[in-house]
Every structure is written in C-alpha cells, then in structure tokens.
Chain A
Amino acid sequence: MADDIKKAGPDRRSVLKGSALAGGVGAMLATNVRAAQDGEPRAAAAVSRIPVSLSVNGQTRDVSVDTRATLLDTLRHDFELTGTKKGCDHGQCGACTVHIDGERKLSCLTLAATVEGADIVTIEGLAKGDALHPMQQAFIDHDAFQCGYCTPGQIMSAVALVKEGHTGSDAEIREYMSGNLCRCAAYPNIVAAVKQAAPQMGDA
C-alpha cells in the first residue's frame, strides 16, 4: 500500500529516486574516468545504463547495469547467482544479505553501480570447491532451516557475526542474528549452528 499511492508528496519514492541518482552519480564518475582513459567521451546526462566492473566471489566481470538496479537484482538477473534471495526488497527480512568488503550488507538496499571495485561475496562463494564453509556444515548439522529460503542470508549474516565478535553469549548471537527473519522459525537451531561453527572458522 505504501508504494501505490500516487501524488502523495515527498514520499519514499522520491527518496529512492534521490538515492538512485546519488548512486548513479558515483558510478558515473567512475565510468567517465574509464571512458576518458578509453578516449571515448560520453554524455553522462543521458546514461541510464552504465558499465561497471563487479568482483563477485573472486571473479571480476564487466556488466552494463541500469543505474537503478540493486545489487540483488544484478546478482540474480545478470550474474545468474540466484542464491541471494529477494524476500522483501525493503531491507526488512535479511534474505539478500551478502558480504561487501568483508561486511554483511543488504544487497536489496545497495545499488549495483555503487560497488564497483568492491569485493562481493555471495552464498555461492562461501564453499571452497566441494568443501563446505564450517557455517554451512553447521547449518546442516543442526537442521537450521526448513524451507531454506532465508538460509543464504542467515549464513552470510552468521559468518559476518562471528568475525564481528558477537558470539559472546547465546543472547548476543540471537540479537545479532535478528536482522534475518526465518518464517519457519528455525531460530534456536540457527543459534546452535553459529556456536558450532564459530570456533572452527579460523580465517574462513
């Protein structure tokens, strides 16, 4: 309902437009720098799609993205990395959590054009070949999911939480995992999985 009322004044839509523009500008600067290097001047004002170079799971790819495209949609549509899930597109559920430069971020609230050059890791990039990340194995061992749809986001949050040092107590784990909703409510099993994996993680 919040999204469909027209002509309602300076609402979230214009805020979103503003942030899209801001993201676009940042990326366009980078584009212009590169374009200048290529010797191909561009009319920045007309750009609605821009080329960006994204590093995802250790591989860098040049893609042309809509300036309004979120990292979430770019991962799903352009990179065909569908492990990162859209559960709300509003930063409310945590299903789209990825790592950007080692920190957990909501890819639905991150414009793809703003993360050029950043180190992006998704659920598909967590395992080393056939060897699961200790957090992935722990989620299996503790049946820390049912439908599994929130699981990629839960695992990405859980890995980051351990690195953040928030495993001091069960209550602390619960608190720092509360940005990731699980409608099947596997919460106690998720806490158990985090506790199992934390001491096994090392630098993983």
Chain B
Amino acid sequence: MADVTNTAAPTMANAGKPIARYEARQKVTGGKIYGDDLAVPGKPAHGWLVTSAIAKGTITAIDDSAAKAVPGVLMIMTHENRPPLQPMKTFSTGGIGLTSQEPLGGPEIAHDGQIVALIVAETFEAAREAGRKLDISYNEGRPATTFGSPGVVRKTTKEVVGRGGGPTLGDVEAALAGSTHVVEAEYSTPVQHHNTIEMFTTTAFWEGDRLTLHEPSQFVWGAKVGLAKQLGIDPDNVHYVSPFVGGAFGAKAAIGHRTPLVALAAKQLGRPVKLVPTRDQCFTIAGYRQETKSKVRLGCDAEGRLTGYSHELDEFTSLLDPYHNGGLENSAAMYAFKAVGGDMFLSRGDRNVPVFMRSPPEVPVIYALESAMNELAEKAGMDPVAFRKLNDTRVNPVNGAPYTSRSLNECFDEAAASFGWSRRTPAPRSMRDGDWLIGWGCSMATYPTSMTPATARVTLNANGGAKVEVAAHDVGTGAYTIIGQTVGERLGIDPRRIIVQCGDSDLPPGPVSGGSVTTASVTSAVAKACDQLLAKMSASGPMSDEDRRAAFDRIGSNALIEYAEWTPAGMDPKQAKTLYEGGVPFAGGAGEDRTMFAFGAEMVEVRINERTREIRVPRMTGAFAAGHIMNPRTAHSQYLGGMIWGMGSALLEATEMDRLRGRYVNDNIAEYLVATNADIPQVDIIMVPEQDDEINVLGVKGIGELANVGTAAAITDAVYHATGVRIRDLPVRIEQLLV
C-alpha cells in the first residue's frame, strides 16, 4: 500500500501553475478528437435507431417492406434477427451495463424510447428515411410513470437491493422532541437529463477478430471488458478509443443498447458503421437523474445548536433495474448532529434506467438538508452563515471518524466578504431595487473525496522529453493537462515537452471518470511512476537538465520507462487488478477511519420582478476548498460550470413527463431548459487555500462535482428572502411565485 503521508510533497505550494489546456489548440481549431470525428478504414455505413413509440407493451408486428425498399439500405436489425449476445451486468452489480435488459431482446417494451431497431444504410439520409418507414405495430399497456402513478409500488431501498438502511445515531425522535426549534419539510427534485452537447455516438469496425470502437466513454477499460463479455469475445480483441469526450456528466460511463448493436452490425456487414442518434433518442437510450422526494426533520436548541436530523429519501427508478443513489451517509456527516435517523425508499415504474448525473446523491440530498438548514436558521432567529459555523464539526458525528481536512467555515468567511453578506437584511421582502425584489441566499457545497486504484506508465528520455500513458478520460475536466503537469512538476521538466495519452483501452488502465476520482487517483499513480524513475536515477526530487543527463550517462540508456500501480490508503493493493478486469473499487468519503470531503460556500442574489415574477440571478459567489489545486485555470472553469449547473438545477432544468403515456415530453435541448449565456451575468469564484497531507499523494480532492451541490438551496432561500414564498419543489418557476 502506498504510504501517502511519506510521499506527500510538503514543500509544494497550494496550487500548481494555471497553464492552458493540453489540447486547447485542437479544441479551438476543430481538431478530430471526438469519437465521431475519428477516421475509419474504408467507407462507413450509417446507422439510424428506431425507438419505441410507447412506454409499455409489446411489438405485435414489424412491417419492413417499405423500409427495405429505400435505396441504399443495408440492414434492418430488430429483435427478430439480432445475432446472439451474452447477458450484461449493470454498473451497480459489478458490470458496465446501463441496464440488464437485453438489447433487441424480444418484443416487450419496458420504457419510452427503447431501441426497437437499428437500420444501417449507405448514407445517413437513406438510413433515416428507412427508419421513418419501418412500420411497427404495438399492443400498448398502461405504464406506471412516476411518483403517485397507478401501479407504482414503494419499498424501502433495503427491501429492493438488500442494503441501504441509512445511517443512525442515537435516538432521533427523542432529540427532535427535545428541540427548541424544529423544521419539518418535504423537498423534491425532478428528472434531469445530462444533455451533453456531444450526443451518444458510436462507430464500430472490425479488423479480423479485433473490434475497434470510437465512442465517447468515461471508462474505456470497463467498456472494453464489459462489451467483450457481452459479445462473447476476448477483451484483448476490443479496442476502445475515446481521446476526448464532448461532455459526459455521468452519462457516458455505462454501456447502453446501442453499442453492442452497432458492433454486431459492423461485423455482419464487414465494414465500419457510424451511429449518431437524435437528440430526442438521447433522452431514452441512456440514463438520467431520477426524480426524488425528501422528508426532512431538523431540530436545534435555544442557542442554535443542532440536535436531531431525520431524512426520509424517496427515489424513483426503473422496473428493469433498481438504480439508485442513496446519499444519506454523506449528509449525516455534514454537521455536529446529536442524533441521526431516516430511511431510503425506492418506487419503480416503466421507465428507462436512471444513471449517475453530476453529484448524483448530493444534488437532491444536500439540497434538502441545506434548505432545511436555511429554514431552521430563520426559525432560530440566526443568520444562516453564523448558524452553519456554529454547527461545524471536525468529525463525522455518526462514527467519530475525523475529517482529513475541512475548511467550510473559511469558505463561508471568504464568500461572505466577497459577496457583501453583512449587508443582507434578514426579513423577507426587505431588499428591493425599483420593481425588482432582491433576495440573498446561501448554502454549503460539498462532495466526498473518493479514490480508486490507478496505473500509469511514464517514459523519460535523456533529452528531457517525456510521455505519460494512462487510460484516464478527459470529459472537459482538464485531465490531460494536470496529468502532464504532475510529470513536469515531479521530474522537473517543461510540461510542453510531455506527451500525454489518455482515453484509449490499449493504455494502462485508469478509473472511470466518475465520482470526481480522476485527479486524486491518477495523479497519485503518475507521481508514483515518476518517483520510481527518480529512484532509478538516484534522485529524490525534480532534476536539473544537467543532473538528468548525467544520470542517463551513468545508467547507459537514453530512455527509461516506469509503470506504477497505486491504490488508495486502506484499500488492499491487490485491488489494482480489478482495473484490468474492467472494474473499479472506490474508497473515500464517509469512511470508517477517515472522513474525506471537499467543501464550499455559495451565495447568490436573485432579483424577482414584482409584477411579472421573472426570476434573474445577477450574481453568484462561490468559495471552495479542495486541497491542492493542480491547475487554478481548469479548476476555475470546473467551479464556474458547476455553479451554473446548480443555477440551472434550481430554476431551469426538468424533464417533463406525459404521466398517462409514460413518455418524456420536452425531449429536446430547446424545451429542456439549460442555462444560456444571457442567464449568467456574473459568477465569482474564490479558491480558499487548504492543505491536506493525509488524503493522497498530492493532497488533492476531486472538484468536478462540488460546485453544483447546494446551489439550488441557496437560490430557493434567496427566492424566499425576496418574496416570502418558500418553494421546495425544483425547479422554481414563475408560476410557483404567482401566489
């Protein structure tokens, strides 16, 4: 096991250099770096998906005569003629599948937009025409759509999946009964879709027995091994190529139905097949954030000290597979609660299977907790910032495990000073500017620091050039950049002389780009490989050009290659092998011995027009502390984008459903509202210095999923502060304010 305390670099500054992204030039010149851009051997055929027009029922007939007659059509694959496939385990059960449901496995329809045919033709236009001409008849059933729909059954999460009772501490009922102030409230969050601008494209081609996939992926090794199992072939014969990903946010880790189908089509046709689904299909052929309800009871004593915290979390999920997020073990660690209770429940319906979406459990759970914190502060007559600072904790109250570092109070101080929080007058409707009611609200942001095993191979040349190879993924996070920086800082060479290779399953395996694990895990492995190189050169730190040349002369070689495996502290080092098997074990967050989280404080101003109730967010401030910041430039963008996501989550984003027919209604990127440039006047990001020598080699915490947590609670509290109206169901829309 890596001894993280001994390998930490104590002299390292709190932040690395803010250099531009490794791939910046390619991204501004239209470089061929995304899956569907990559060249293929020979002229590709083009695919088109046909997806079900009903949410529940069976296909009774398929008439493909008109579709077949379209000139250029090469193949129509349906459940009637699909070549064999092996079963696929879901991500939650140790596999890589979005669902255990078989692709084109039969005539049964289990959700809206299920793939019912893959058409391949010489051109995209011909495939599309044939798709529209494929005549499918259905026997339509009545779907169970969402919470409250007929046919939906609610069970505890534990009953459904065998675990997930929620954390307990002391007697929460007694603690609440003995409290001076208690808030009891229900909060809800809607269905949301990732809506990455790059859609779920897949290109497949075979060269002999070897299959190559060009597909945006957050986990190329997992995909390679999982897809090989599904196709019944040797994983060494699957090559997953995904140099850069056009946005992921959790949507591109699990394998859905399209991937094996395109691979089968390419095999059958003996030529490359390219698939670019439509935007509306992207709502149903991949996952989404499921709707949740939270019933929170939170109490404090007369001085404002928290007493009991009870949280009942309801998540909706699919009848196909019970994907769920949970998350109460994290929220229970947040403050100095005296008692904790609650439970988790799953309701299931005829829906596609949900999946992780940026800060999966934290977005709903911390929204509910932080909203209740704001409401309780008001009841106790306290400023919400002072209230949180009073209830800060240095340990997880549930098990006493100490935080490796926690700078929440410092974040609140920095945010408050920058935002001008002291000028807030607490009474609702007490601040205005002409017709505009002004509201200020705040929230904590948090995300667990998780780590996984990782590997890396570093090649160093005598002339100071280097190459680092690891199948990590850059979904816009800056992974290439900070991996290169790690090598540069560790070995003392110019980052511009370092070639970084990621996103390819022929490279040594890295973890899934999920759970914000990449920076902490991969840089730890890269640093370890660098340290092995230094040891070979009898050096203990970054080397001068002179010393390096001398070392190479001594060794009598012009290049050195080192491969390293790293596992997080407390994890069996043998777990690194799991990466080669397509798996990825996680450690961190609310652990048994240590509690590892990044924190932030967010403050927002909303302006609500008193006549029209139009809601604007003229400014937001976020102060974040997440250990060593590898690159302040890319980190700034992560925080910025995160807070804007949080704003969108509060005011814009929701996938609407036809409750009767179980279908998504606004399944396009104009009616599914995401933030536009005009929605975002000002976002101020503050990076609060924090040093954590205990957490991993470089002292870093993941930040990609930090800033969008809690924002919605800040905004709903600001809406209350402006109007006196408490909105607990997201997103907040004008109609809810017309009271």
Q: Tell whether, in the assembled complex, residue B247 and residue A190 are in contact, meaning their CB atoms are under 8 Å apart.
A: no
A188 CB contacts on chain B under 8 angstroms:
640, 680, 682-683
Q: Which of A2, A89, A146, A182 has the most CB of B within 10 A?
A: A146
**In the bound complex, what is the Cα–Cα distance between A122 and B135 (angstroms)?**
38
Q: Is B154 an interface residue (CB 8 A)?
A: no
**In the bound complex, what is the Cα–Cα distance between A127 and B677 (angstroms)?**
25
- A residues 135-152 touching B (CB-CB < 8 Å): 136-137, 139-141, 143, 145-152
Q: Tell whether, in the assembled complex, residue B197 and residue A87 are in contact, meaning their CB atoms are under 8 Å apart.
A: yes
- A residues 37-64 touching B (CB-CB < 8 Å): 48
A1-B112, A1-B113, A178-B678 given; A185·B641 CB < 8 A: yes
Q: Which of B195, B633, B677 has the most CB of A within 10 A?
A: B677
Output the nearest chain A residue to B663 by Cβ-Cβ distance: A1
Which of B36, B247, B633 contacts A184 (CB under 8 A)? B247
Which of A1, A5, A82 contacts B37 (CB under 8 A)? A82
B665 CB contacts on chain A under 8 angstroms:
1
Q: Is B634 an interface residue (CB 8 A)?
A: yes
Q: Is B638 an interface residue (CB 8 A)?
A: yes
Which of B27, B124, B641, B679 contacts A151 (CB under 8 A)? B27
A97 CB, min distance to chain B CBs, angstroms: 12
User: Contact flags (1/0) for A105-117 with B, using CB distance below 8 Å?
Assistant: 0000000000000
Interface size on B, residues (CB 8 A): 79
B31 CB contacts on chain A under 8 angstroms:
83
Q: Is A95 an interface residue (CB 8 A)?
A: yes
Q: Tell whether, in the assembled complex, residue B663 and residue A147 are in contact, meaning their CB atoms are under 8 Å apart.
A: no
Q: Tell whether, in the assembled complex, residue B199 and residue A147 are in contact, meaning their CB atoms are under 8 Å apart.
A: no
Q: Is B694 an interface residue (CB 8 A)?
A: no
A26 CB, min distance to chain B CBs, angstroms: 17
Q: Tell whether, in the assembled complex, residue B477 and residue A146 are in contact, meaning their CB atoms are under 8 Å apart.
A: yes
B634 CB contacts on chain A under 8 angstroms:
143, 146
Q: Tell whether, in the assembled complex, residue B29 and residue A73 are in contact, meaning their CB atoms are under 8 Å apart.
A: no
Which of A4, A73, A184 contacts B50 (CB under 8 A)? A4
Which of A89, A124, A145, A170 contacts B30 (CB under 8 A)? A124
B71 CB contacts on chain A under 8 angstroms:
48
Interface size on A, residues (CB 8 A): 68
**In the bound complex, what is the Cα–Cα distance between A73 and B634 (angstroms)?**
32
Which of B245, B249, B279, B680 contacts A92 (CB under 8 A)? B279
Which of B123, B278, B640, B676 contacts A89 (CB under 8 A)? B278
Q: Tell whether, in the assembled complex, residue A3 and residue B675 are in contact, meaning their CB atoms are under 8 Å apart.
A: no
A111 CB, min distance to chain B CBs, angstroms: 11
- A residues 149-172 touching B (CB-CB < 8 Å): 149-152, 155, 170-171
**In the bound complex, what is the Cα–Cα distance between A168 and B39 (angstroms)?**
42
Q: Tell whether, in the assembled complex, residue B644 and residue A185 are in contact, meaning their CB atoms are under 8 Å apart.
A: yes
Q: Tell whether, in the assembled complex, residue A88 and residue B669 are in contact, meaning their CB atoms are under 8 Å apart.
A: yes
**In the bound complex, what is the Cα–Cα distance between A118 and B633 (angstroms)?**
40
Q: Tell whether, in the assembled complex, residue B677 and residue A149 are in contact, meaning their CB atoms are under 8 Å apart.
A: no
A127-B29, A136-B28 given; A185·B636 CB < 8 A: no
Q: Which of B52, B249, B676 has the most CB of A within 10 A?
A: B676
Q: Tell whether, in the assembled complex, residue B637 and residue A186 are in contact, meaning their CB atoms are under 8 Å apart.
A: yes
User: Contact flags (1/0) for B26-53 with A, using CB distance below 8 Å?
Assistant: 1111111110110100000000001111
A175 CB contacts on chain B under 8 angstroms:
677-678
Q: Is A120 an interface residue (CB 8 A)?
A: no
B124 CB contacts on chain A under 8 angstroms:
69, 73, 77
**10 nearest A-B pairs in the assembled complex, by CB-CB distance:** A83-B30, A149-B246, A147-B476, A146-B476, A148-B27, A185-B644, A123-B30, A82-B37, A136-B28, A185-B641
Given contacts A147-B475, A174-B678, 11 further A-B contacts (CB under 8 A): A69-B125, A77-B124, A83-B31, A85-B198, A122-B30, A140-B24, A145-B476, A146-B641, A149-B246, A184-B247, A185-B641
**A residues bordering B, Cβ < 8 Å?**
1-6, 13, 48, 66, 68-69, 73, 76-77, 80-90, 92-93, 95, 122-124, 126-127, 132, 136-137, 139-141, 143, 145-152, 155, 170-171, 173-175, 177-178, 180-191
